[in-house]
Structure 1
Amino acid sequence: MPDHAILDRMSEIVTHRRPRLRAIARHRPGRSPRGLVATLRTAAPGSALALAVACVATVVGRILPILGAPVAAVLLDALVASTVRPVARMPALAAGLRITGGSVLQIAVVLLGAQVSIAQVLHTGRQTLPVMLGTLVVALAGAWALGRALGVDRDLRTLIGVGTAICGASAIAAVTPVLRPGASRVAYALTTVFLFNVAAVVAFPPLGHLLGLSQHAFGVFAGTAVNDTSSVVAAATSYGREATDTAVVVKLTRALMIIPVSLGLAWLVGRPAWNRADGAGRPDGAAPRPRLRNLVPWFLLGFLALAILGSVWPLSPGVRSDLALAATFLITWALAAIGLSTDLRALRRAGVTPLLLGAALWLLVSASSLGLQALFLGLH
């Protein structure tokens, strides 16, 4: 058969079978039942190790509420990773740690939506919105500018900035699936934010009395300038009951900022990839409009849906408490997996510069919270 006839016949076969070839190309073994079972078997050892660390961290977090289970998991991971080095000894653990650190973390973010009441957000937001938005802008802009000036890695300064601006470990957990940073960066950001949470719990109540802040004013201050929920409650409880109630509502309202910030980060992270892919595939090189499902991570939609659902059909305090405990445990489990994958040498190479960034942001947010509140709401 002549060469040109062979080429024509091959072209005919490919054209005729093109839909079938596309179906084969789209097939992913991991999505079949057999592939899913294989994935779970591969993930089991690493996931079980992270689960064991999470259980111990949960006990430690209940004994030391100011520490909290997620941070306790990171600290335990540092101890285990530096002494036992499980991943180096058993490389098969890595797959399970990676899967747990991603999927479990996303489910935890969805459950966090049950803690947000849209009605409370609307009521409190009208009063405190200038303070919340102002401190958010100060923290994110400060992380970008000071982080660049100090030479802090982009992902690390983003994690520290988001953790300081919104809600500590929960915010870092929410943006981690979007940014996909290295495990060492997540561990460093969590540790940095935790240190200044502790500093806030110790320093803010005496500062509030020194400045003569009212119960409401201190609640707004704690709700906007302290990061983690447990630390907000710890700081406000020592000031008074009214301060605690105000601080918790402001803090939960502030948690909704996770959604626009994560969406913005998803767009910034995905834009270069979309442009590269489109430039290679379209003759005019023009960038297409990205699809909504590529722009909006599914877990953020779940977060918002659960918040709306809980506002339309209010959950009982017991159910809300159970979901909060479940979310905290899942975050602890996921962070345990991330921490066990941490490269401690990378943390040492990062040095103290990210810690200086965290300190600067903490001071900036605290000062801007008091300043904006004095300007818009009054401190007494």
Structure 2
Amino acid sequence: MKPFALKRYWPSFLLVAFASIVITILYVTVSDKQVLDAKKLQFETVAGDNSLLKDLQLNVESHEDTSNGTIAFNDGTLTFSENPISWQEKLDQQYDSHMQSLQNRYRNFMRPFQYGGANATPLETDDAVVIANITEGWFDEFDNSSAQIDLALLQKETEAETHFSVTVDLPGDTSLSYVQNLEMVNNHLYAILDVYDHQTDMNSNVLLNIDMDKQVLTSSTTMLDDIAETQGTDSYISLHGLSPTPTPTAWFLIDQEETSRIAGYDATANTSFFLEQEGENGIIDRLLTFNDMLYAVSTEDQFQVDVYNIVNKTFHESITTDITLSEAYNTDFLIKDGLMYVLNLDSYENNTSNDVGDGHLYVIDVNTGAVRYHGKLSNVSLGLSITFGEDEL
């Protein structure tokens, strides 16, 4: 080739090289190992059917709020959307959006609570809208022996409104932080209150049983104190929600040095109890309810789920797998349609400088314990949660 020929054809050589690079990038992106963003956040299928991930959403958050975002699984295609705000801010936005939606639909009823902020907690049922609004004894007030909660009820069909207040006795030198949960069962409103103790710098929970027909507070019980008295003081107690059926029951984990116990508080009978657990009790990381079953998830040695019948409060079965998880505080769980989705962030000791680690996503059949899917996340920022859709944050 003459010297001038190279100069003549070099644009073609560059074009071919550029096309090769583009094809390589496209292949990596659409293959099973997908690069989700410029920070090299990666996901790949290790084994199983990835159609089980349809409509699944992973929320990724770093401590510095530099790589917050959403990994969405849509028909096998993964997308990563940057979100510059923290998930707590997004939760607040969704709360405001929900309140605004209620205000738009029930404008006259909601107007008094328009500026309620964190003090006002809404509950929408098939038949009614309920608002619980803290008016006295809130978090910024100290030395409270009681708190006042205003209740407002709107019947959707008749648009009839009911307004009344209840006074709640608070234990010790405390203040009411917020209304944590609201459930309506048989015209009884069950509210779980988060109460802050200024002397011990600890939070406890009070369960209210409010008769909406008679407009009276039927019972008010400091659940954690009641359970702690029977368990002892060397334990850590955490609330895991309220199951409204068959009887309203609040579920707790009581963690001691090497064991966990499951406690329940029956709101109808106004009594606390412990579930009889099979075998040696290990450390339980999470309680989940699905239909009439309570699932106690343990990740101490291997992934295991103990299943309890909520109706008769008895042990049902254990589900064991060969999955080994690390650092349970970086693990999240979700049950949907008979499947348990498990998201775990591996140890990041070698990557503390840039605050990233690797993660695994498992899909487990809650009836058989079979692992239906296994995926791997690489270079993911610390702080993972697993959700379905925007409304499940």
Fold in common (TM above 0.5): no
TM value normalised by structure 1? 0.23
Higher strand share: 2
Q: For the pair shown, which has the larger CA radius of gyration, 1 or 2? A: 2
Which structure's relative contact order is higher, taking Cα pairs within 8 Å and 6+ residues apart? Answer: 1
